[in-house]
Amino acid sequence: MGSVLLSKLRFRGLSVEDADWITEALNDPEVAKYLGIYPRTEHEIRNDVKNDLEKVQERYVVAELDGEPAGCICVSLDMGRCRHLGWLEGLFVRRKHWGKGVGYALTNEGIKLARELGIRKVMITTTEGNERAKRLYEKLGFKIEVYENDHAYIDGSWRKEYVMGLELSPCKPKLSESSITSNNQSSQNSNIKINVRQVGDPDLDEVHKLQNCPESTKSSRRIPPITKDETKRWYEGLKSQEGKYCLACFENDKLLGYLQFTAFSPPHLHLRLDEIIVDSKKSQKKQQMPWSKRLKASRKDMDTIKYSPTYRKQA
């Protein structure tokens, strides 16, 4: 690592008072380049910090060098079936302190905290071209597990996003190829009228039932039983958080399934599919709900969301 004496470095939690130096740091184009939109006002950052501090799934670590804040990292705990994972997010170091080992020490502190919280595997993402960050993570033992093409548009070119992992305690046993049973059925479209739209207030009872259907336990991050309050909190989050959407698929008034996704802001011009639940019992009649077709149909909606800054949720 760099030349900083570890004895000069202290770690502490984040507070709303940190908004001023974070604003200054994140408005540096070189720091913001791989992180997101800038310039940001102190007011926006202060609100973000306030909201972030309320999230029980997120823990922030601030590094201080000679008593002055130098950088920050977040450990975000995954949920449900993925609760063995901890994501290190939003790492940045003030530019004047780059190359002194602060980034390395902060990431290491994030890993330590994740271990203390019982996390088995730490994940981190970085963008193609961010060699400083990638090398730092590799030095700490992270390995690229997968990458996403054309994730962000930076300095005139589309970049990959690397997802890197570091196992803290073994995740075993793994699923073997042979044990994966194929129950692929052909996608027979029938003449059933299906309607896809954004989830709204009147749908909450149906959504609550869907989140508790047996299929939701298989691939979703939830672990039923989900209470009505949890469904309501999920919905409030959907309505209040920038870029979060949920397309629901109905047959008449019956909710067959939903697809929740996040539309990211520049430079990360992409959609992340967060959760898909299809109640197989309700869609049994048709063997398999024609999601692929519905998604193609709703691709137009998604493109509108992706490319139009004026898109507003219809909920």
Ligand X SMILES: CC(C)(COP(=O)(O)OP(=O)(O)OC[C@H]1O[C@@H](n2cnc3c(N)ncnc32)[C@H](O)[C@@H]1OP(=O)(O)O)[C@@H](O)C(=O)NCCC(=O)NCCS
Number of residues lying near ligand X (CB under 6 A): 22
CB of 312 to ligand X, least distance (A): 30
Of 2 and 141, the one with the shorter C-beta distance to ligand X is: 2
* Region binding ligand X by CB under 6 A among candidate stretches 7-15, 125-133, 180-188, 214-222: 125-133
CB of 36 to ligand X, least distance (A): 10
Q: Is residue 154 close enough to count as binding ligand X by CB under 6 A?
A: no
Of 21 and 235, the one with the shorter C-beta distance to ligand X is: 21
Among 92, 142, 162, 291, binds ligand X (CB under 6 A): 92
Among 45, 93, 226, 247, binds ligand X (CB under 6 A): 93
Of 13 and 99, the one with the shorter C-beta distance to ligand X is: 99
**DSSP labels for the chain?**
--S--GGGEEEE---GGGHHHHHHHHTSHHHHTTT------HHHHHHHHHHHHH-TTEEEEEEEETTEEEEEEEEEE--GGGTTEEEEEEEEE-GGGTTSSHHHHHHHHHHHHHHHTT-SEEEEEEETT-HHHHHHHHHTT-EEEEEEEEEEEETTEEEEEEEEEEESS---SPPPGGG-----------S--EEEEE--GGGHHHHHHHHTSTTHHHHSS--SPPPHHHHHHHHHHHHHSTTEEEEEEEETTEEEEEEEEEEPPTT---EEEEEEEE-TTTTGGGSS--HHHHHHHHHHHHHHHHH-TT-----
CB of 64 to ligand X, least distance (A): 13
CB of 102 to ligand X, least distance (A): 4
**x/- contact string, 158-177, with ligand X (CB under 6 A)?**
--------------------
Q: Is residue 87 close enough to count as binding ligand X by CB under 6 A?
A: no
Among 65, 85, 86, 100, binds ligand X (CB under 6 A): 100
Q: Is residue 155 close enough to count as binding ligand X by CB under 6 A?
A: no
Q: Among all chains, which residue has been given the structure tokens 């039932």?
A: 209
Of 107 and 260, the one with the shorter C-beta distance to ligand X is: 107
**DSSP labels for 266-303?**
TT---EEEEEEEE-TTTTGGGSS--HHHHHHHHHHHHH
Binders in 22-51 for ligand X, by CB under 6 A:
31, 34-35
Binders in 46-85 for ligand X, by CB under 6 A:
none
Of 157 and 227, the one with the shorter C-beta distance to ligand X is: 157
Of 88 and 277, the one with the shorter C-beta distance to ligand X is: 88
Question: What residues make contact with ligand X under the rule CB under 6 A?
Answer: 1-2, 31, 34-35, 91-93, 98-104, 126, 130-133, 135-136
